[in-house]
Amino acid sequence: MKFLEKVKHTFSLSKKIMGLTALGICAGMYVSGSAHAEFSDFNKTQPGGAEVFYLYDRDIINGYPDGTFRPESDVKRGQAVVMLGRALNWDISQTNTSPFKDVPANNDDNRYIIEGAKRGIVSGYDDGTFRPYASLTRGQMSAILQRVYKYPTHFTIPFADVKSTHWAYSPIQALASNGVVTGYTDNTFKPQQYISRKHYSMMLARTLQPSFRPPMYMKVKAGTTKLNVYSQPNTTSTITGALYEKALVQITPTSTKGWVKINYKDITGYAPLSYLEYYRLKGLPLEKRVVVVDAGHGGTDSGAVYGSLVEKDINLKASYYLKTELEKRGATVYLSRPTDTFVTLNDRATFSSPRRADIFISIHANATASHTANGTETYYNDQLYEGDVNPYPEESKKLAYALQVQLDKLPTKNLGIKQNEFYVLRKNTVPAVLVELGFIDGRYDSKYLADSNFLRQSAVYMSEGVVNYFKSID
């Protein structure tokens, strides 16, 4: 009985044909770029392809005689053990008798199953069978792999469908916290689902070659004021940097309990796990971006006042709307003035650097002495003033443009983008812009600025502008 057909000879022939192609003998027969497709239904460039071919090249997994790989087919119990045995180079020379009535010790594949049972990694059923053709679930596969590899559990990853009472909770947590299994983007693991050949290959390849493990991320828990990062997993070592709440950090599990290795922009080192929570990337456009939103004025500085409209309040309200919209698109947002307090211009300008912000957006409302102006405009700084200029003049201008193009959709007049030496722009350390949403004393604009829907809509447009800005610089 053979669970994995040995069909390498078929492929070595096709490899030879492809070699000739490369020399130009069969030029034109193959479309460029597809010459390395080894299976008719699966190639290296597909998700899981690198892992499958890593195993294939090591004779751990094979295809079917018809040239297919059948990546979505269920893995059978027999196949799973055979692949594991090959991966681990089990010695199967001492497997001459079988404990299973449906697995005779008459070929290598079966001997791997017998060896797996001897090692306590798999077991049969009460009726003396092993049932090699039965399908394996993702939960069962996790339990088998964990029995072999005995990974330590470094931290908890919440899966909606694998609670701590689930029979496979421990093996799944152990494998997941080492990046061997990942689960699905909806935070489920689907432990009852049969495991596909492709997914099993990915799991197995990740045990053998850690570089296949996808990057893992955590977020600094909300409410954490400042989290120090250390050169070693202890608080007596050198501090290499600090993280602020909600920072999205890439992590590597470590053997020191309670600590994890982190990587955040230019900061690397160790941080205590208790201040971090697992974060699964959602594929949102601003997921790895950090934005400072600066609500102009505040506290004793009201900004412009006209009738019942107070600029500092409008700016704060609009800033919270902008924060919400940016966060919806995945960004980490820091407010330089989260409440009605006075913050110096210098504190605003120097707020970006320690948080490793990517961009800075200051929100204001305008006013004129004559009370006759209306319109929305965005400022950037690219000209030297008193010895200072924003260090990213081109990016700042691009950002201003990206925002203004979107803000043009507002009912206000589009006043375009403008250069100015505003302190928070020229003294900043990142690309920075200042948006004047409208004129608080403008005949048309005053009613807009008094309207929450207008401010919310401005935030939607600005966040779309931010998405477009990052697309344009990538």
Nearer to Zn ion, 323 or 364 (CB): 364
Nearer to Zn ion, 138 or 312 (CB): 312
* Contact between 449 and 317 (Cβ < 8 Å): no
Question: How far apart (Å, rounded) are the C-alpha atoms in residues 104 and 116?
Answer: 14
The HSE-up count of residue 351 (CA atoms within 13 Å, CB side) is: 27
Give the shortest CB-434-to-Zn ion separation in angstroms: 8
Q: Please list every residue from 57 through 76 that binds Zn ion, using CB under 5 A.
A: none
Give the shortest CB-213-to-Zn ion separation in angstroms: 49
Nearer to Zn ion, 111 or 364 (CB): 364
In DSSP terms, 290 is beta-bridged to 332
Question: How far apart (Å, rounded) are the C-alpha atoms in residues 377 and 412?
Answer: 10
Q: Which stretch binds Zn ion (CB under 5 A): 107-115, 144-152, 290-298, 325-333?
A: 290-298
For the beta carbon of residue 308, count every other beta carbon within 10 angstroms.
8
Question: How far apart (Å, rounded) are the C-alpha atoms in residues 464 and 467?
Answer: 5
Nearer to Zn ion, 86 or 427 (CB): 427
According to the binding rule CB under 5 A, does residue 355 interact with Zn ion? no
Q: Are strands 248-253 and 259-264 parallel, antiparallel or unpaired?
A: antiparallel
Nearer to Zn ion, 332 or 366 (CB): 366
Nearer to Zn ion, 250 or 420 (CB): 420
* Among 296, 298, 431, 442, contact with Zn ion (rule: CB under 5 A): 296
Q: Which stretch binds Zn ion (CB under 5 A): 101-109, 126-134, 301-309, 353-361?
A: 301-309
Give the shortest CB-472-to-Zn ion separation in angstroms: 27
Q: Which stretch binds Zn ion (CB under 5 A): 62-70, 155-163, 292-300, 410-418?
A: 292-300
According to the binding rule CB under 5 A, does residue 298 interact with Zn ion? no
Give the shortest CB-304-to-Zn ion separation in angstroms: 6
Binding mask 302-341 for Zn ion (x = CB under 5 A): -x--------------------------------------
Nearer to Zn ion, 259 or 380 (CB): 380
Angle subtended at Cα 249 by Cα 245 and Cα 252, rounded to the nearest 5 degrees: 135
Give the shortest CB-297-to-Zn ion separation in angstroms: 6
- DSSP class of residue 103? S
Nearer to Zn ion, 183 or 303 (CB): 303
Question: How far apart (Å, rounded) are the C-alpha atoms in residues 324 and 317?
Answer: 11
Binding mask 362-401 for Zn ion (x = CB under 5 A): --x-------------------------------------
Question: How far apart (Å, rounded) are the C-alpha atoms in residues 298 and 344?
Answer: 10
Q: Which stretch binds Zn ion (CB under 5 A): 124-132, 228-236, 300-308, 342-350?
A: 300-308
Q: Which residue has the tokens 């919209």?
A: 325
Q: Are strands 290-295 and 332-335 parallel, antiparallel or unpaired?
A: parallel
Question: How far apart (Å, rounded) are the C-alpha atoms in residues 365 and 377?
Answer: 10
CA distances to 249, 276, 391, 396 from 184, rounded to whole Å, are 20, 21, 41, 38
Nearest residue to the partner Zn ion, using Cβ: 364
Residues 6+ apart with CB under 8 A from 66: 40
Give the shortest CB-301-to-Zn ion separation in angstroms: 9
Nearer to Zn ion, 285 or 338 (CB): 338
For the beta carbon of residue 61, count every other beta carbon within 10 angstroms.
25
Q: Are strands 414-419 and 376-380 parallel, antiparallel or unpaired?
A: parallel
Question: How far apart (Å, rounded) are the C-alpha atoms in residues 63 and 56?
Answer: 8
According to the binding rule CB under 5 A, does residue 48 interact with Zn ion? no
Q: Which stretch binds Zn ion (CB under 5 A): 7-15, 87-95, 253-261, 361-369?
A: 361-369
Give the shortest CB-467-to-Zn ion separation in angstroms: 25
Strands (DSSP E) along 171-215, which ranges? none
Nearer to Zn ion, 154 or 427 (CB): 427
- DSSP class of residue 362? E
Size of the site for Zn ion (CB under 5 A): 3
Give the shortest CB-229-to-Zn ion separation in angstroms: 36
Residues at the interface with Zn ion (CB under 5 A): 296, 303, 364
